[in-house]
């Protein structure tokens, strides 16, 4: 059972970004499986670290494209990325303090974060970048 399943609606029609979104979804699903299977808190923390690292890499990719093509919503989108990164880092800090008390809350946050960020925030740059010839 997966927490998030890739849907065509998630596509931003930019291959590099779509591939990164798929990877983010896979990492969130790995975290879900590890929590569901009762894996060690160290293993779960390692997956959270990987999620944070990959998210930062992904956000840098998006920001680089938005900046290169002068996307008008760049500053707002970058601020949203910073906010999301801080939220995940805070969840990680809380998880380290109390692994059992945060599992469901963290997974619910990640599920809505990934879906909402892609379907709402990322879709804002899709048409703009596609019109610039970015696919």
What phi-psi label fits residue 71: left (phi over 0), alpha (psi between -120 and 50 degrees) or beta? beta
pLDDT tens digits for range 103-112: 778 888 999 9
What is residue 105's predicted lDDT score, i.e. its pLDDT?
A: 82
Do 26 and 35 meet the contact criterion of CB atoms below 8 Å apart? no
pLDDT tens digits for range 34-71: 989 989 888 998 999 999 999 999 999 999 999 999 99
| Sequence ranges of the domains in the chain | 10-130
What phi-psi label fits residue 133: left (phi over 0), alpha (psi between -120 and 50 degrees) or beta? left
Architecture of domain 10-130 in this structure: Up-down Bundle (1.20)
pTM over 0.85: yes
Show the CA angle centred on residue 22, arms to residues 18 and 26, nearest 5°: 170
Instruction: Give the Cα separation of 59 and 100 in Å (integer).
Output: 29
């Amino acid at each position: 059972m997966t927490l998030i399943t890739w849907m065509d609606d998630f596509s931003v029609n930019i291959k590099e970004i779509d591939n990164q979104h798929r990877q983010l979804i896979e990492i969130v699903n790995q975290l879900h499986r590890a929590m569901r299977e009762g894996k060690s808190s160290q293993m779960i923390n390692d997956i959270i670290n990987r999620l944070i690292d990959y998210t930062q890499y992904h956000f840098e990719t998006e920001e680089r494209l938005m900046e290169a093509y002068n996307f008008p919503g760049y500053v707002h989108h970058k601020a949203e990325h910073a906010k999301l990164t801080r939220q995940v880092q805070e969840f990680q800090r809380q998880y380290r303090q109390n692994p059992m008390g945060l599992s469901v809350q963290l997974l619910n946050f990640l599920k809505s974060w990934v879906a909402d960020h892609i379907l709402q925030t990322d879709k804002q740059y899709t048409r703009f970048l596609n019109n610039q010839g970015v696919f």
